[in-house]
C-alpha cells in the first residue's frame, strides 16, 4: 500500500517574494556596498532585482531616489498630521511631534538607516539630495506655523525660525544616533534635542510666538505753574530723576 502524499507544512512553504519596490531597494544597497554608488548603474540594480528598467522608474524617478525610498510617504504623513490638528493644539508641540514621524521612519530599520547615513557622507550628490529633502520637511513645518501665526506681528518670521530650529534639533539627535551605528535610544536623543526648542519657543508663548514683555517706559511728569522759569522746570525734572 503506497504511502499517502504528505501535506505541506508551513515550514515547507516557499517564502513570498518581497514587493518589487523593496527588491529594488535591497538590490541597490547591496551593489552600493559592494561596488560603490557611482559605479552602480540602474541596469545593474534591475538585473540583480530581476525586473526591467520600466519597473525601476515606475517606483523611483532616479538612482538618487532609491537611496531615500520612504521620504515621500513620510512627508505625506507629516502633512496629514499637521493638517489634522486643532486650534487648541500648541503649535510648537505639534511641529515637534511632526518631526518625530521622521525619526520613526529611520528607527523602523536601523541597519538600513545607518548604511544610508554612511553612503550619503561619502557621495556629495547624495548629500545635496538629502538637503533638498530636509528643506521640504522644513517648509511643511513652516507652512503649518505660518497659518497658526497669521495676523501676528512677525508671524512669518517666527514660523520660519521655529521650523528651522525644529529641523536642526531633530537632525542633531538623529545624526548622533546614526553615528553610534544605531545603538542606544534614538527617541531619547531626539526628545532631548527637541526639548531645547520647546524651552526656547514653547514656554511663555501666546499662539506659538514668544511674547517678550516690553520694559515699561520711564516717564516723569512735572506739574508747574504757567510762567515758571524754564531753569526751575529743568531743576525739578533733574530732581525727580535723581529720586528714581
Per-residue model confidence as pLDDT tens digits over 190-232 = 999 999 999 999 744 444 444 444 444 555 565 666 666 665 6
8 A C-beta contact, residue 46 and residue 55 = yes
- What is the pLDDT at residue 10? 47
Q: Where would I find the H helices in 50-109?
A: 53-59, 63-67, 71-83, 91-107
The Cα–Cα gap between 112 and 102 comes to 14
Q: Are residues 180 and 79 in the same domain?
A: yes
Q: Are residues 49 and 82 in the same domain?
A: no
Asked whether residue 2 is domain-assigned, the answer is no
pTM of the entire predicted model: 0.74
Confidence of residue 184 (pLDDT cuts 50, 70, 90): confident
Among residues 64, 89, 123, which one ends one of the domains? Answer: 64
- What is the pLDDT at residue 214? 41
Per-residue model confidence as pLDDT tens digits over 158-177 = 999 999 999 999 999 999 99
- CATH, residue 158: 1.10.357.10
Q: Are residues 99 and 205 in the same domain?
A: yes
Q: Are residues 32 and 138 in the same domain?
A: no
Confidence of residue 145 (pLDDT cuts 50, 70, 90): very high
Q: Are residues 109 and 158 in the same domain?
A: yes
On the question of pLDDT at 5 being above 80, the answer is no
% of the chain exceeding 90 in pLDDT: 71
Provide the mean pLDDT of the chain: 84
Asked whether residue 238 is domain-assigned, the answer is no
The Cα–Cα gap between 38 and 126 comes to 11
Other C-beta atoms lying within 10 Å of the C-beta of residue 164? 13
Total structural domains within the chain: 2
Name the residue with higher pLDDT: 193 or 85: 193
Q: Which of 41-50, 110-119, 203-212 has the lowest mean pLDDT?
A: 203-212
Q: Are residues 82 and 27 in the same domain?
A: no
Q: Are residues 59 and 109 in the same domain?
A: no
Cell of 61: 524617478
Q: Are residues 38 and 127 in the same domain?
A: no
Domain that holds residue 73: 68-210
- What is the pLDDT at residue 205? 46
Amino acid at each position: 500500500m503506497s504511502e499517502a502524499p504528505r501535506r505541506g507544512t508551513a515550514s515547507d512553504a516557499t517564502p513570498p517574494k518581497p514587493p518589487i519596490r523593496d527588491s529594488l531597494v535591497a538590490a541597490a544597497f547591496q551593489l552600493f556596498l559592494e561596488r560603490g554608488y557611482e559605479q552602480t548603474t540602474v541596469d545593474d540594480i534591475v538585473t540583480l532585482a530581476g525586473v526591467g528598467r520600466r519597473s525601476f522608474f515606475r517606483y523611483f524617478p532616479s538612482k538618487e531616489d532609491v537611496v531615500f525610498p520612504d521620504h515621500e510617504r513620510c512627508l505625506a504623513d507629516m502633512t496629514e498630521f499637521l493638517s489634522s490638528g486643532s486650534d487648541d493644539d500648541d503649535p510648537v508641540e505639534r511641529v515637534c511631534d511632526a518631526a518625530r514621524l521622521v525619526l520613526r521612519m529611520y528607527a523602523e530599520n536601523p541597519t538600513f538607516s545607518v548604511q544610508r547615513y554612511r553612503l550619503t557622507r561619502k557621495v556629495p550628490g547624495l548629500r545635496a539630495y538629502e538637503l533638498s529633502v530636509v528643506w521640504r520637511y522644513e517648509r511643511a513645518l513652516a507652512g503649518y506655523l505660518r497659518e497658526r501665526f497669521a495676523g501676528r506681528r512677525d508671524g512669518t518670521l517666527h514660523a520660519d525660525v521655529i521650523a528651522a530650529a525644529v529641523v536642526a534639533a531633530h537632525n542633531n539627535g538623529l545624526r548622533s544616533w546614526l553615528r553610534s551605528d544605531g545603538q542606544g535610544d534614538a527617541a531619547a536623543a531626539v526628545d532631548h534635542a527637541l526639548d531645547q526648542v520647546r524651552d526656547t519657543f514653547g514656554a511663555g508663548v501666546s499662539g506659538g510666538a514668544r511674547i517678550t514683555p516690553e520694559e515699561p517706559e520711564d516717564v516723569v511728569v512735572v506739574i508747574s505753574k504757567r510762567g515758571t522759569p524754564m531753569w526751575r522746570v529743568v531743576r525739578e525734572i533733574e530732581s525727580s530723576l535723581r529720586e528714581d
